[in-house]
Structure 1
Amino acid sequence: MTVLILGAVMFAVLFAGFSALGVWQVQRLLWKQDLIRQVDTRIHAAPVAAPPPDQLVTRQADQYRRVVVSGRFDHAREARVKAVTDLGPGYWVLTPLMTDRDFTVLINRGFVPSERQQPADRAAGQVEGVVRIVGLLRLTEPDGGFLRANDPAGDRWFSRDVAGIVQAKGVQGPVASYFIDADATSNPGGWPRGGLTVVRFANSHLIYALTWFGLALMSAAGLVLFLREEKKRRVGR
């Protein structure tokens, strides 16, 4: 009797555990689908004013929100961040924009190939005067690139770390905690090339859910087989 009870309990626990994990993945799937719908709505919405530095910005509510801001670029403090895009390897050009609302925000003006990384090699794109930028609000990336830490002292950047870049470049005054990916509006001379933001969400929750539910069914089948074998064994005594 003890073996029967222990076996039944073991299979029942496995069935319950796998089923719970399957339900959790279904919940995650619904959450991810809702997030994708929200982001798609933000990307295609009319641009709103970029939030000031004292406004809380969150991943859930603000990532990829379409925003607009006006001001003047501080080209002397631009940072170049290693990047690989559909145009090949090169750099993102991040430039502080001193806005007409008395705060600064980093603008990812777009991509330049390695041979265009120096400002002198794309002089036409170093625009002066007041500019209007429309783009997508992005959250800071403080952790560096894959297996590559940012090196502020050497001015080598592998992620768009707002706080790190601001500090290393000596940007003064109130600064937004996020950056803005500029849209595809052409810059003089064609560089930097904006509008290359890739919006992609991993969504394997359905596969995971089916896997867990499959394991739950296997556990249930195992329980049935176990009980049958126990019944045969006891009848055969």
Structure 2
Amino acid sequence: MRRPARTGAALVLLALVLVFVALGVWQVQRRAWKHALIATVEGRVHAAPVAPPAPDNLAPAAVADLAYLRISVRGRYRSGPDILARAVSDLGAGYWVMTPFDTDTGYTILVNRGFVAQDAKPRAGWRPAGSVVLTGLLRPSEPGGGFLRANDPAAGRWYSRDVAAIARAVKLGPVAPYFVDADRLPGGDGPVGGLTVIRFSDNHAVYALTWFVMALMSAFGAWRLLRPVRSLAD
């Protein structure tokens, strides 16, 4: 390779070194952010329950920042059919049982009361009657669908817990822009609550190492191209 071409290729590799180092540093920063997020969520899950945020002027970004907040509120489950959303849990394939809950403070929350198997039939005692205290974890809405399938409100087929779409489809009226995963209730009759899976991917260290190795390889390639070339006479 002639000298100008070698120099041009080396400059490209040096530019890639900068890019790869920047990507590696970004992944290190992402790893620190992810570990802080995990610590925050762990603290929320095991903390004493607090009152849920009122839905007035609650932006979607604010709901995301409150994910997995442990809440407690008194109210009543609304009568009427439950909404079933397709689910796969540690207990197998089935449905999440979604029920509107009218709080004593004047707003409605959609509650995931728990998991039921595909062949489960509603029984007496499934839904607590009268005034009850709801405790559980606040979850952001899941718009669109899941399982590679879109929700079909007209047919009543739900593949995700899309709060706004469910509220429109079954005419719930105004609801909070989040749902609550209810804690497991004592006794074995009814939906099984308390099955929230809290898992965060944490591959940032591997990604950072990969980018830094690629930076070293690019730097080595640039050095090989820029080092003096000895002639055959030498």
TM bucket (normalised to shorter chain) is: over 0.9
**Partner secondary structure for residue 134 of structure 2:** strand
List aligned pairs for 1:20-31, cutoff 5 A: 20-31=22-33
Bigger proportion of residues as helix: 1
Q: Which residue of 1 aligns with 2:202?
A: 203
Q: Distance in 2 between matches of 1:12 and 1:211?
A: 17
The answer on 1:96 being equivalent to 2:100 is: yes
The structural deviation recorded for 1:59 is 4.8
**Partner secondary structure for residue 97 of structure 1:** strand
Q: Which residue of 2 aligns with 1:177?
A: 177
Q: Percent identity, please.
A: 50
Equivalent of residue 38 in structure 2, options 10, 23, 36: 36
For the 8 Å contact 2:116–2:191, the answer to whether it is kept is yes
The structural deviation recorded for 1:95 is 0.1
The answer on 1:168 being equivalent to 2:165 is: no
Deviations 1:22-62 (A, max 9, x none): 01111111111111111111111110101111152525520
The answer on 1:155 being equivalent to 2:159 is: no
Q: Distance in 1 between matches of 2:86 and 2:99?
A: 14
The structural deviation recorded for 1:14 is 1.2
The answer on 1:82 being equivalent to 2:83 is: no
When the two chains are superposed, the root-mean-square deviation of aligned CA atoms in Å is 1.7
TM-score computed with the length of structure 1 as normaliser: 0.91
Equivalent of residue 49 in structure 2, options 44, 47, 50: 47
For the 8 Å contact 1:124–1:189, the answer to whether it is kept is no
Q: Which residue of 1 aligns with 2:229?
A: 232
The alignment covers a number of residue pairs equal to 230
For the 8 Å contact 2:63–2:177, the answer to whether it is kept is no
Identify unmatched segments of 5+ residues in structure 2. none
TM-score computed with the length of structure 2 as normaliser: 0.92
The structural deviation recorded for 1:184 is 1.9
Moved more, 129-138 or 71-80: 71-80
Q: Which residue of 2 aligns with 1:16?
A: 18
**Partner secondary structure for residue 80 of structure 2:** helix
Q: Quick one: which amino acid aligns to residue 222 of structure 1?
A: G
Deviations 1:126-174 (A, max 9, x none): 22101111100000001201321111111110000001111111113x3
**Partner secondary structure for residue 125 of structure 2:** helix
Q: Distance in 1 between matches of 2:230 and 2:189?
A: 81
